[in-house]
A = this chain, B = another copy of it.
């Protein structure tokens, strides 16, 4: 890589050397976009003018922490891609952490970040119903937090979610309209916000169509494949639902596997719709009906809010709650 200095940066960006200097000494007398462009290019070349380097480094780590329950999951993988695309434009890198849906891991990682490892956090949470005081330490240090998909309602921070209630209502209604009367709702943790909201859409759609709600049809599953196979085998053999609505994509795959094993035909014996961001849902046998969240766009939005929070110091920022729309794709599995 070529040696680089302020003159070269100025030439490459077609700006004056004094503008470049202003970007580095934190002057407010410079357009924000221009400053960002200069710093991004400088970082790309790993260039920091010596006399400002230590000063800048103390203030900023250029690292954004992203906390998610899992990464081997299409929704989170795409959302992370969206976050990363925005982060890169700001010259930021991502510190990624997976909680496996275990609250203690989330707390441990947030405490680790308190030591100045990152300039802020974008998170999809795992510990509802717990005490969230550990997040207040971040606020005292002006470390912004943005929630996406799974949020803590009791914490003031920008939130990005999707219209889960409407989507769940529409999916359940579609199953009812094809004739299903015994629809199971599969969920991993029904106490978390998305679990509750998605279930409410299911419950209200049943009520609208005068199908009595039956608690036995709410199936609390797991993140473990083998456990799910056991649970679902029992459900299909004993309860025999004629429809299944999955709040998480892995539960749809588990259902497909168990149906193959038991010789239950989708959609003849059982119709199925699932929340899923799987790009190859149409390639499954049968093609899977999905509620598809705009995962990448959610990541982009969350990251955009994060950088606004970091740069603007907008006092109303923490009240912002953006709701993006999911799409319902009806395919063979629920026809």
Contact = CB atoms under 8 A, between A and B. Distances in A.
A199 interface: no
Nearest to A256: B283
A107 B1 contact: yes
Q: Which of A44, A114, A280 has the most CB of B within 10 A?
A: A280
Interface of A: 1, 43-44, 46, 57, 62-63, 71-74, 77-78, 80-81, 84, 93-98, 104, 107-109, 111-112, 114-115, 117, 134, 253, 256-257, 260, 279-280, 282-287
A22 to B, nearest CB: 24
Given A108-B46, A285-B284, A71 B77 contact: yes
Interface centre among A253, A279, A283 (most CB of B within 10 A): A283
25 contacts: A1-B134, A43-B108, A44-B108, A46-B108, A46-B111, A62-B112, A71-B71, A71-B81, A72-B78, A72-B81, A73-B77, A77-B77, A81-B98, A93-B97, A93-B109, A93-B112, A94-B96, A94-B97, A95-B96, A253-B279, A253-B280, A257-B283, A260-B283, A285-B286, A285-B287
B280 A256 contact: yes
A94 B95 CA distance: 6
A118 to B, nearest CB: 10
Contact of A253 (B94, B112, B256, B283): B283
B117 A63 contact: yes
Nearest to A286: B285
A128 B94 CA distance: 24
Contacts of A104: 44
Contact of A84 (B94, B98, B114, B282): B98
A285 to B, nearest CB: 3
Nearest to A62: B112
A111 B1 CA distance: 10
A303 B304 CA distance: 33
